[in-house]
Homo-oligomer: A and B are copies of this chain.
Amino acid sequence: MAPSEIDRLIQQLARLPGLGPRSARRTALYLLQRREQSLLPLAEALSRAAERIRPCHVCGNLDDSDPCRICRDRERDLSALCVVEEVGDLWALERSGAFKGHYHVLGGCLSALDGRGPEQLNLDSLWQRARDPAVKEIVLALSATVDGQTTAHYLAERLAGLPVQVTRLGQGVPVGGDLDYLDDGTLLAAFSARRPA
């Protein structure tokens, strides 16, 4: 018997992160039983997203306009450029409100294990943007993983000759972090970054 439209829907849902076959079935049923309130609006939102959302050619962010609304925002600080690995990191920083400048999304980080070298990353336009005389500081907001820190090191070296200040995020105890549960690496980093109380 040919797989029905329901099976096809369940298959597609089961491929989403965090949804297994069981929750995909539950989700499909939920949607099918709420055709007007849930199924149609979600289908519409996905179609519109597929149609309109594109990477910003300036920074690599995803938005329904190109340049994206962050690149177009004239109220933002033109002198600061924050380099992140992925769009999700950009969203996290935006939610935090920690940064009011512009972004540059690398599209990943260098990884010997995954065979990802500089040519796979969105770097050519970073070298160009770093040469903009308006840019005074480049914040390397990369993951505190081996690959993230390797990438940060590589970028810091390549940017060293330019008249911009290159900075990294501070490392230490996360807010709400219980010392007892922190790993040794974080404790070491927090100790070397200690400040007068």
A160 cross-chain contacts in B, Cβ below 8 A: none
- A49 contact from B16, B31, B53, B87, Cβ within 8 A: B31
**How close is A77's CB to chain B, nearest CB, in angstroms?**
18
A116 interface residue (CB < 8 Å to B):
no
Main secondary structure of the interface of A (DSSP, over half): helix
Task: Assess the A64–B9 pair: CB atoms within 8 A.
Answer: no
Q: Contact: A31 with B5, CB < 8 Å?
A: no
Whether a CB of chain B sits under 8 angstroms from the CB of A91 is yes
Known: A6-B64, A46-B46. 13 other contacts (CB 8 A): A5-B49, A5-B52, A6-B53, A6-B63, A12-B45, A15-B38, A16-B27, A17-B27, A18-B19, A26-B88, A29-B87, A29-B88, A33-B62
Residue of B23, B31, B49 touching A32 (CB-CB under 8 A): B49
Interface string of A64-89 (1 = CB under 8 A from B): 10000100000000000000001110
Q: Does the CB pair A49–B17 fall under 8 Å?
A: no
Shortest distance from the beta carbon of A125 to any chain B beta carbon, whole Å:
19
For window 87-132 of chain A, which residues contact chain B by CB distance below 8 Å? 87-88, 91
Chain B residues with Cβ under 8 A from A11's Cβ? 45
* A91: contacting residue among B25, B40, B45, CB under 8 A: B25
A43, B38: Cβ atoms closer than 8 Å: no
